Structure 1
């Protein structure tokens, strides 16, 4: 089934509408760009949505119409200036109108994930209760089906305006678009992969515009470019690189339903070929997934026109690029197309980017020295402790990066420490979380929790300082998973640990759950393990690689009484190695 909206009106046929006139004191250059596209390019393709059911193409006139419809819905629901709108929509075209309509009407939208077919919807929505109580949104946008799931799970939505896309009036299109000044908050970006309970990043219009301008300059993006993506739009890489950036710059983008992509990975490459795509952002695991699933069909694609496949969202790995380039050489892929980016929601998106047109630098360093002393020294390939690390590029204009020690003092080049970032497009803090904001933002620097080093002015990212793990591109905090499984019958309370381990075969971290089983529990180990797996997947959309039930007293504690993550990971791996 192919669904394409009716032919778009020509510029001369565009209805007369009022666009806000901003004085210099009220400048919002990001909003101005969107309104200019509505006015000057109504018939140009802006975005396409591809699902198993077909394809929907949106022009700028379509997006404007939907923005006005949703702006009217927000007005009629009583959402005030600066009011928060949470958007729980699947892969549907209304994502654009609901989101940009909120921004351009002076509200603060946030795109949120819905349940997947395999999830327990009751568990998933109950995990959002704390989120809703913390954010206290003015409105939620969803489908009738999603609202029914929320209500069945017992979520208290009585004080929240519910706007269903199934009941949105078709003629509800007269609301004016009157964006606020650029220093106002434009959106909330929640961390991907978790239930979003702790990290809602506040971003202003000015910060978004400054970051996109800077990053677009580094990439030399222009109106000849085309973006193809399977990334979910609630993820910062999907939202900023593949939705906000192309909308601001007027670059067409094709969005593939993530679940459709998982069932047909080669569809991404097929659309890059057929639509003459030039940019594609991917987490490291997706490069490996494409190599394994679509590499054998490489000769059926023409990918030589792609300017950059950009590896982002989790630590990049040189070995992943080697395998991808070899697998898709028959499609015209070469190593100069494979690039790296270091990005986060707290800086809107990109912090650093490798130069296009040349392969990223790869250092072979002494891994033992780096782990034990925090110093980076070159060594010969093949040496016993040799470790390959690939650069994440140079810091983009407008930002400054320092590597800092545990006392937050700057370190020289080739010393490992925490990556700290300052600049003109840092976030405005975590929503309703002043303590976390104060802990991370200090004297104009954001302390990322990521480990890395600088060498010759280029940034190399190594991993995390805390219990955050990145599994298949999703950010997961170990303590959040531990809290969710703590009440499972048959487990000893407080005696479970969730760990991450690098799996070089898939180019990502995998999750390991180790939990002490109550000795006299009537439940079987298999039954307990199944509930752990089901609960984690239903809430976090991640399946643990290992769920190990151990006897009481197995887990190692630190001197402060906490369960030691590194010690228990080492014990687990040693036991598995002994088992063969």
Structure 2
């Protein structure tokens, strides 16, 4: 597998891999620009990054400073990541604009983060710069990556082992963005973990990805791992994928990619599009890591049906569990092993019990394994008998949340991360089942919102992965509202709402009060595709949604 980057948990191996080793690499980076891929060998990428450092230094970037950035999948952004480090700065990756987020809200989010971060500079590519709020420049100098191209080279002074190197701000699927503070030591350990999961061969893999670099899976899994290990990398964009989901597996086939990664929702979209795709060269992909959200068993079956005739085996799919607080990955299904799942009673699961049932049981739900702990990872206090909060010890843990001592104390305790996710362990495999803050307490019952949403996905006319169950108070107690995007319209909204209510009762033993039907692409999402459940009710109650119909089930 090649020499590990971390060595004795030192940063030197990381910087060597991204500079000296990359300077002699045989492989190349190919970035989607406009309507084609722009190609350059990794050694040229390194030289270009080095040639940006003098300009960054003149702009105030040096050891101990912080640089804020909205990272897009452009050639200049890729080079800028290394350039900031070589100039001595710590790079903070701020959220890209989330779907459904108003311009003024996004401006407030960015300025709030910058007030906490205290950056010397704010950087992004020129195209994104043109749409950023002008008010941002009142708080921090705002520049484009392009403005530093060929500005000169200085002696490198990257962050040391335990110094701040990267701050990953989440896009906030459940709460306000948190800045996970990462050291080179943690990053190096994570790249070793990813390589062990992939059973990767330095210089012998081809990666294709569209995941945003503003997301941890895009940055560490799909950019830095190929860079550090001399993989050929075909880097597309989330915009291209959104416009045409078939491009993901089309790229895998065209370029002979052996490694890729994505989300469950993205796989479902691609599989639906791929049923009629012509993948003439076939698929050589041996590892397709699936993370960022829970993996659905039906999605895996759909993908095998769609892509199996083109050479993709079930063993290629690698469900994984991770989070930015652990840099990226925590657990993953071993390479060349087919995903596994358990069929459980959803109502019992909501009550904290694990009861296996027959697949045709009305309350059955399929829970997919997220695999085994990776290199240097330990799951703490987990049970095989009941869901508990997932607690993690890892060589890749963040130092905490930058500038947020309260949240740091709540989630980082004595070298252990309290994730806020729920899961259980069977035969060493982790089975995530939801989040603590996805658990709604209704009349003394615990309802796992994601379990309900997964069941609603199966209703005819509902877009898969496009529903959100929200609890809110109206002065008379907690009400449950289900937001649903439809594949098409019009529909018999009352009948569909009643079927959804039946599923809520069957799966959660609670009553649904209201069902709000929305057009496609209405629900707010993070750039990686996760629904921001916490924003749904405020958007609806303030008139920011335009519903196709609202059915009040409580009124009869």
SS at match of 1:140: strand
The 5 A counterparts of 1:493-512 are 501-502=453-454, 503-505=456-458, 507-508=464-465, 510-511=467-468
Aligned position for 2:121? 139
Deviations 1:407-460 (A, max 9, x none): xxx353222110000132211111111110000011221000001000111110
Deviation at residue 539 of structure 1 after TM alignment: 9.3
Q: Counterparts of 1:382 and 1:309 in 2: how far apart (Å)?
A: 29
User: 1:131·1:197 contact (CA, 8 Å) conserved in 2?
Assistant: no
What TM-score do the two structures reach when normalised by structure 1? 0.74
Aligned position for 1:183? 162
Deviation at residue 465 of structure 1 after TM alignment: 0.5
Distance 1:575 1:163, change over 3 A: same
Distance 1:307 1:84, change over 3 A: same
Distance 1:148 1:291, change over 3 A: closer
Distance 1:516 1:211, change over 3 A: closer
* Aligned mate of 1:430, from 397, 401, 405: 401
Deviation at residue 240 of structure 1 after TM alignment: 0.9
Deviations 1:245-301 (A, max 9, x none): 111112121111211121122222121112110111111101110122222225645
SS at match of 1:47: strand
What TM-score do the two structures reach when normalised by structure 2? 0.77
Deviation at residue 166 of structure 1 after TM alignment: 4.2
Deviations 1:18-56 (A, max 9, x none): xxxxxx998621001112224423xx3332111443221
SS at match of 1:319: helix
Aligned position for 1:110? 92
Larger Rg: 1
* Aligned mate of 2:28, from 28, 46, 50: 46
Deviation at residue 205 of structure 1 after TM alignment: 0.7
Aligned position for 1:258? 238
Aligned position for 1:357? 336
Aligned-residue Cα RMSD (Å) equals 3.7
Deviations 1:310-347 (A, max 9, x none): 21110111111111111222212222222211111111
Q: Counterparts of 2:388 and 2:99 in 1: how far apart (Å)?
A: 41
Distance 1:109 1:340, change over 3 A: same
Determine if the alignment matches structure 1 residue 29 to structure 2 residue 6.
Answer: no
Q: Counterparts of 1:509 and 1:181 in 2: how far apart (Å)?
A: 43
Distance 1:144 1:233, change over 3 A: closer
Distance 1:336 1:121, change over 3 A: same
Determine if the alignment matches structure 1 residue 87 to structure 2 residue 69.
Answer: yes
Deviation at residue 207 of structure 1 after TM alignment: 0.9
Aligned position for 1:460? 431
Determine if the alignment matches structure 1 residue 287 to structure 2 residue 267.
Answer: yes
Distance 1:542 1:343, change over 3 A: closer
Q: Counterparts of 1:462 and 1:444 in 2: how far apart (Å)?
A: 24
Determine if the alignment matches structure 1 residue 239 to structure 2 residue 196.
Answer: no
Q: Counterparts of 2:192 and 2:539 in 1: how far apart (Å)?
A: 53
The 5 A counterparts of 1:113-192 are 113-115=95-97, 120-144=102-126, 146-152=128-134, 154-155=135-136, 157-158=137-138, 160-168=140-148, 170-192=149-171
Aligned position for 1:395? 373
Distance 1:533 1:460, change over 3 A: closer
Determine if the alignment matches structure 1 residue 326 to structure 2 residue 326.
Answer: no
Aligned position for 2:255? 275
Instruction: Name the count of aligned residue pairs.
Output: 483
User: 1:366·1:386 contact (CA, 8 Å) conserved in 2?
Assistant: yes
The 5 A counterparts of 1:465-504 are 465-467=436-438, 501-502=453-454, 503-504=456-457
Deviation at residue 221 of structure 1 after TM alignment: 0.5
SS at match of 2:69: strand
Q: Counterparts of 1:235 and 1:460 in 2: how far apart (Å)?
A: 23
Distance 1:420 1:102, change over 3 A: same
* Aligned mate of 2:410, from 424, 435, 439: 439
User: 1:270·1:301 contact (CA, 8 Å) conserved in 2?
Assistant: no
User: 1:51·1:260 contact (CA, 8 Å) conserved in 2?
Assistant: no
* Aligned mate of 1:217, from 178, 196, 213: 196
Distance 1:331 1:202, change over 3 A: same
Q: Counterparts of 2:256 and 2:229 in 1: how far apart (Å)?
A: 18
Q: Counterparts of 2:263 and 2:155 in 1: how far apart (Å)?
A: 39
Deviations 1:54-113 (A, max 9, x none): 221122232223322332122101223121111235432011111111122321112334
Gaps of 5+ in 2: 1-7, 441-448, 475-515, 542-549
* Aligned mate of 1:310, from 289, 293, 311: 289
The 5 A counterparts of 1:53-68 are 53-68=35-50
Q: Counterparts of 2:110 and 2:522 in 1: how far apart (Å)?
A: 14
Q: Counterparts of 2:297 and 2:93 in 1: how far apart (Å)?
A: 32
User: 1:419·1:451 contact (CA, 8 Å) conserved in 2?
Assistant: yes
Aligned position for 1:367? 346
Q: Counterparts of 1:118 and 1:551 in 2: how far apart (Å)?
A: 12
Q: Counterparts of 2:211 and 2:199 in 1: how far apart (Å)?
A: 22
User: 1:452·1:460 contact (CA, 8 Å) conserved in 2?
Assistant: yes
SS at match of 1:296: coil
SS at match of 1:185: coil
User: 1:398·1:423 contact (CA, 8 Å) conserved in 2?
Assistant: yes
Distance 1:535 1:455, change over 3 A: closer
Deviation at residue 515 of structure 1 after TM alignment: 8.5
Q: Counterparts of 2:297 and 2:57 in 1: how far apart (Å)?
A: 51
Gaps of 5+ in 1: 1-23, 403-409, 470-498, 518-528, 553-571
SS at match of 2:350: helix
